[in-house]
Amino acid sequence: MEGNLQSLLDGVITPWTGPKDTDVNLLYGTQHDWPTYDLTKQQKLTGVVKEVSSRGKPPVIKLEVEKNLLTIVIAPPARMEFRGLSNDMLKPGITANVVAYPSKQIKDELRAETITIGRTTTELR
pLDDT tens digits along 23-73? 555 566 666 676 788 999 999 999 999 999 987 778 999 999 999 999 999
Task: State the Cα–Cα distance between residues 77 and 4, nearest whole angstrom.
Answer: 8
Q: What is the tens place of the pLDDT at every residue in 73-94? A: 998 888 899 999 988 899 999 9
Rounded distance between C-alpha atoms, residue 117 and residue 109, angstroms: 20
98 strand-pairing partners: 45, 115
> CA 112 to CA 96: how far, in whole Å?
11
At 19, the pLDDT band (50, 70, 90 cuts) reads low
Distance (Å) of CA 66 to CA 20, 70, 109: 44, 10, 15
Q: Tell which CATH classification among 1.10.600.10, 3.40.50.2300, 2.40.50.140, 3.30.1360.10 matches the domain 28-123.
A: 2.40.50.140
